[in-house]
Amino acid sequence: EAGVVQSPRYKIIEKKQPVAFWCNPISGHNTLYWYLQNLGQGPELLIRYENEEAVDDSQLPKDRFSAERLKGVDSTLKIQPAELGDSAVYLCASSFGQYNEQFFGPGTRLTVL
Partner 1 sequence: TQLLEQSPQFLSIQEGENLTVYCNSSSVFSSLQWYRQEPGEGPVLLVTVVTGGEVKKLKRLTFQFGDARKDSSLHITAAQPGDTGLYLCAGPYRGATNKLIFGTGTLLAVQP
Contact set for partner 1, span 49-108 (CB under 8 A) = 50, 56, 91, 93, 95, 99-107
SS3 state at 3: coil
Smallest gap from Cβ 81 to partner 1, in A, equals: 26
Residue 63: DSSP 8-state? T
Rounded to a whole number, what is the distance in angstroms from the first to the last CA of the chain? 37
Using the minimum distance from each CB to partner 1, give the nearer residue, 50 or 83: 50
For residues 62 and 9, give the distance between their C-alpha atoms in angstroms, rounded to a whole number.
24
Using the minimum distance from each CB to partner 1, give the nearer residue, 3 or 18: 3
For residues 97 and 71, give the distance between their C-alpha atoms in angstroms, rounded to a whole number.
21
Among the listed residues 2, 27, 28, 40, the single contact to partner 1 using CB under 8 A: 40
Footprint of partner 1 (CB under 8 A): 4, 31, 40-45, 48, 50, 56, 91, 93, 95, 99-107, 109
